[in-house]
Amino acid sequence: QSSSLAVLLSYIRYGHGHGIWYGPALDPESAALFPKDYGYGLLAVYAVWLLVILILYPLCRWFAELKHPWLSYL
């Protein structure tokens, strides 16, 4: 799921997600596939992390409150 989020953000920011599938941006062979300003700053990373936590917390809370015996094994 994190890779699908990376592809989505790449399409939103650059209009394509070509470089994500070929390897790291620091690899000399695949570096040409990435835009010059590829990546996000630390503040943006923390903002996305916080957004994911805020979205997933209610779902996890709901799942934790289920009291079915067969769910205790999950």
pLDDT tens, residue by residue, 23-62: 666 667 766 777 777 777 899 889 989 999 999 999 988 8
d(CA 26, CA 29): 9
Alpha helices in 1-74 (DSSP H): 2-14, 42-64
| Whether the Cβ atoms of residue 26 and residue 32 lie closer than 8 Å to each other | no
Q: Which residues contact 9 (CB under 8 A, 6 or more apart)?
A: 40, 48
Give pLDDT, residue 32.
72
Q: What is the mean pLDDT of residues 3-7?
A: 77
